[in-house]
Structure 1
Amino acid sequence: MQQFEVSGAPSVLLVEAFYGGSHRQLIDLLKNNIPGCSVFTLPAKKWHWRARTAALYFSQTIPTCLSYRVLFSSSVLNLCELVALRPDLAHLKKVLYFHENQLVYPVRKDQDRDFQYGYNQVLSWLLPEHKRRHQPAEMSHTDDITRQDEPQQSPRSDEDPDPSRCESRCESRIQRALSGAGAADLEKPLHIVWPHRWEHDKNPELFFNTLLKLKERKLNFQLSVLGETFTDVPEIFASSRRQLDSHILNWGFLPSKDRFLQVLCDADVVVSTSKHEFFGVSMLEAVHCGCFPLCPKALVYPEIFPARYLYSTPEQLCKQLQEFCKRPGVARRHVVTVDTSLYSWASLKPRFQTLLAAERP
């Protein structure tokens, strides 16, 4: 468990039971930019155990503090259990952030769905009404809960390097394309990037099967497969690496954010094959770096991306990549019509400041 101290009396209690990936990105962003935060986390390991036992753990490790006014947590934590175990936290304004929906989260074919995780989310979501019925009237106005699963509520991390560096590289590439200079550069092999977690819900089978079809058709392309890995990595990553070895430029997690953004800026097309997505941070990061996005016409993607960037079938995905492989300059010259500034911290900071503000009871 990590605990981050703040100077002065803390007013915002940030609790994250799975401190990794987008969960960590958001917590670090708030910790670094919202005054008065006190942070308690558990490492991003053994997700199922975190969902089942984190409330008990945090109930014993979060110290009593009279200055807390707001409790912010992701829905990995069973908030209902934590408040039951720690009545002193019941009066706080509560903000619950849903990174995913466990009621419809894809499961592996050889597993039955464990509805306990979705049930925990439902209980946590319903907590405020239950608590209002049992709290003194003067406390009820501070007990609130807000769903934060809409796309516009997923800001970029302040751990990122200066965005101007990324923008400068991408603008230079676009200007070269628009001016007609660097024709040889425009016709070099298409660079495809897949920057997602190496887990089954990201549907790597569809992605790699599509690329193997491109290879069978003797199409030229380069490949970067990025993203975090966990204990149980789908077997298709190892087999696909062997079969696509001659096409690979980058393979595996890049610990340097600057290096990650550099690869995105060098790539031409970013692909999502996800079966479950509430937002898709890496897709927006790639678009911000100048990549042409190809996303399923499903999940959250139609809320963010115009129709020209969506595919409905695996055949459509393969056909679009095939055309780009034949004419890579088309993808490189394209300027994506998605305003990524809408999702920047500069745009969203006032809303988070309001969300994490609470009057003293």
Structure 2
Amino acid sequence: MQVLSYPKVMFIEPFYGGSHKVLIDTFTGSLTDYEIITLPAKKWHWRARCGALSLHELIPSITSEKILFCSSVLNLAELLGLRPDLQPLKKVVYFHENQLIYPVRDIKERDVQYSYNQIITCIAADVVLFNSYFNQSSFLDNIKKITKLLPDWRPKNLKQKIECKCQVLYFPMDFSHISAHDKLTNILHIVWPHRWEFDKGPEDFFSVLMKLKEEKIPFKLSILGEPFTDNPPIFTTIKLVLKEEILNFGYIQSKSDYYNILASSHVVVSTAKHEFFGVAMLEAVYCGCYPLAPNSLVYPEIYPSNCLYSNLEDLQNRLKAFCVDPSQAVEARRQLIIDFDKYSSKTVVPKFKQIINNLVYFLFYLKENR
């Protein structure tokens, strides 16, 4: 294949913060010709519903751009309707998560609008990238469940139409500024570095810790991650009830301070109900923490089976054993083998550039064969 110079890429992101910002900043760091049009990372639900409307007047007229890159927060089909001049660009969408399996008690309670947005975005895209195989398979396998909710005139073969566009491109992790340190083993230090929201399962995590405390099992705790305006009430309760165990509580602005806390911890725990990659978990493990995660979601794709618990009782028993003898956690982490290179930006970014190159070649081929 002829290798062409990389084209100008237009990055459009209605939720420019967190992992969405990191992804774009990482990719643009390897490009010389690009443009970024974004909205601040606030009110995710409004961005998902109205991002196309908010962005369509901010996007400049097309000049030399060849590629449009966006995340699945954007309703791409809606944007193309508002800005038909964007249609000739080759369109790449990246899925950090998918809304088709967002945890709800009853399928009828699901807000289908978000799932619908993501489905028609895939139809409008040329390439659909997922940050894990679990993300890809859970999206494709649940399209029919969503379309079944339509009262009539249900489209057929949507999975097949979308699947041929799909690839997995792991989130590009920058491990260059992270390092592990020797850990003290007198008291087990547990870290929970997730968003303070329902889908990360904080109630489950704290229920396990409360049982350990009731048994007078000693441990120390760092509750990190990003809080929001409407945090689950459990965080207020746990700050009081576990005040003697808590070493760190709340978002850490300094990345170096954040990594130092991870490096001082023995075990990182996830009780997530909705996870497609898990940057915070992988960072903690790279810093030397032993991971304990559900035997579900994306976790079996990334972590060995001995890191996965079957239920909350299993999690409690494993934590109890580590609390009794923290050196067990240190030794377990020492024996843990994870191929961090496959998630490294040094590996992922060249794959992204190859995808862009393939699209350029396709455009070049079409032009030459008209």
TM-score when scaled to structure 2?
Answer: 0.82
The alignment-based identity, stated in percent, is: 49
**SS of residue matched to 2:301:** helix
Q: Name the CA distance, whole Å, in 2 between partners of 1:310 and 1:60.
A: 47
Equivalent residue number for residue 47 of structure 2: 50
Q: Name the CA distance, whole Å, in 1 between partners of 2:239 and 2:323.
A: 19
**SS of residue matched to 2:182:** helix
Mapped contact 2:62–2:86 kept (Cα < 8 A)? no
Q: Could you tell me which of 237, 252, 257 is aligned with 2:235? A: 237
Higher mean C-alpha deviation, range 270-279 or range 119-128: 119-128
Mapped contact 1:19–1:43 kept (Cα < 8 A)? yes
Amino acid across the alignment from 1:231? T
Report the CA distance between 1:354 and its aligned residue.
1.3
Q: Name the CA distance, whole Å, in 2 between partners of 1:48 and 1:307.
A: 35
Gaps of 5+ in 2: 1-5, 134-168
- Please give the per-residue CA displacement for 1:162-200, whole angstroms capped at 9, x wherever unaligned: 43xx33xx2x528xxxxxxxxxx33x1100000000000
Q: Could you tell me which of 169, 174, 182 is aligned with 1:173? A: 182
Mapped contact 2:7–2:67 kept (Cα < 8 A)? no
- Please give the per-residue CA displacement for 1:323-357, whole angstroms capped at 9, x wherever unaligned: 00001011112322112122111111210111233
- Please give the per-residue CA displacement for 1:230-274, whole angstroms capped at 9, x wherever unaligned: 121000000011000000111100111111111111100000000
Equivalent residue number for residue 286 of structure 2: 288
Q: Name the CA distance, whole Å, in 1 between partners of 2:326 and 2:314.
A: 17
Q: Could you tell me which of 10, 13, 31 is aligned with 1:13? A: 10
Equivalent residue number for residue 193 of structure 2: 195
Tell me the matched-pair count.
Answer: 318
Mapped contact 1:108–1:200 kept (Cα < 8 A)? no
- Please give the per-residue CA displacement for 1:32-59, whole angstroms capped at 9, x wherever unaligned: 2222121111111111111111111211
Report the CA distance between 1:155 and its aligned residue.
1.0
Amino acid across the alignment from 1:90? Q
Equivalent residue number for residue 150 of structure 1: 132
Q: Could you tell me which of 301, 305, 308 is aligned with 1:303? A: 301
Equivalent residue number for residue 102 of structure 2: 105
Mapped contact 1:265–1:289 kept (Cα < 8 A)? yes
Q: Could you tell me which of 8, 30, 50 is aligned with 1:33? A: 30
Equivalent residue number for residue 252 of structure 2: 254
Higher mean C-alpha deviation, range 34-43 or range 302-311: 34-43
Equivalent residue number for residue 222 of structure 2: 224
Equivalent residue number for residue 121 of structure 2: 124
Mapped contact 1:18–1:41 kept (Cα < 8 A)? yes
Q: Is the aligned partner of 1:270 residue 2:252?
A: no
Q: Is the aligned partner of 1:83 residue 2:69?
A: no
Q: Name the CA distance, whole Å, in 2 between partners of 1:24 and 1:212.
A: 36
- Please give the per-residue CA displacement for 1:33-87, whole angstroms capped at 9, x wherever unaligned: 2221211111111111111111112111100122111111110000001111111
Q: Is the aligned partner of 1:349 residue 2:349?
A: yes
CA shift in 2, pair 1:42/1:107, >3 Å: farther
Q: Name the CA distance, whole Å, in 2 between partners of 1:86 and 1:10.
A: 21
Report the CA distance between 1:211 and its aligned residue.
0.5
**SS of residue matched to 1:213:** helix
